A and B are shown apart, each in its own frame.
Chain A
Amino acid sequence: DGGITQSPKYLFRKEGQNVTLSCEQNLNHDAMYWYRQDPGQGLRLIYYSQIVNDFQKGDIAEGYSVSREKKESFPLTVTSAQKNPTAFYLCASSHQTGGEETQYFGPGTRLLVL
């Protein structure tokens, strides 16, 4: 089955705790992305990576960190510095075809702060 998987589906974070969200894809896509979605809001880009061992900050990178050690994997860590982490986190990947950057999304992780 080809696609993007994210785990866990739900995650609870205590105050001051770092948590890591997993994102794996077997689509052989070069680029991967992390978005955050708040209720009634659009998707906001946190980090993206266009190639292994390289990544760039998106629009709201503060309080988050990522790594891209393998093409298939792009984990996101929500650090204690992120003061309002409750949101729906979506991972996406893309393979540039004919100049179009079509992105495909994983099922998402809902993060709640206890």
Chain B
Amino acid sequence: RKEVEQDPGPFNVPEGATVAFNCTYSNSASQSFFWYRQDCRKEPKLLMSVYSSGNEDGRFTAQLNRASQYISLLIRDSKLSDSATYLCAVNRRGNNRLAFGKGNQVVVIP
């Protein structure tokens, strides 16, 4: 099983709709979880950290399910500008290293 797995998509989403996707991880001892946004040919930019209790930032909601070992990202009221690849990252316990998934590609359609 890979350390971090994501369904690459693409996820084609009508403008204004809600889209959600998951990221599964294999190391049950992982403690830190992140979502990054990466635009085409650009560097990843931190979107949000994922906390145990779940957290929300505007239209974005992140959840952590430790029992099933996945994190999720939900985007409400999708905008055209939300089109990007969303990478999840999970720490490797015991050091500062992160393992990244391949990303979920989101395409918001007018």
Chain A residues engaging chain B, CB cutoff 8 angstroms: 31, 33, 35, 40-43, 45, 48, 50, 58, 88, 90, 94, 96, 99-108
Contacts and interface: CB of A to CB of B under 8 A. Distances in A.
18 contacts: A31-B96, A40-B102, A42-B100, A42-B102, A42-B103, A43-B100, A45-B97, A48-B96, A94-B96, A99-B31, A101-B32, A101-B97, A102-B32, A102-B34, A103-B46, A103-B89, A104-B46, A105-B44
Interface in B8-63: 8, 31-32, 34, 41-46, 49
A106 B31 CA distance: 25
| Secondary structure call for the A interface | strand
Contacts of A108: 42-43
Contacts of B97: 33, 45, 48, 58, 101
Contact of A105 (B4, B45, B102, B103): B45
Given A101-B98, A105-B44, 18 more contacts: A33-B97, A40-B102, A42-B4, A42-B87, A42-B101, A42-B102, A42-B103, A50-B96, A96-B96, A99-B32, A101-B32, A101-B96, A101-B97, A102-B32, A102-B49, A104-B46, A105-B43, A107-B43
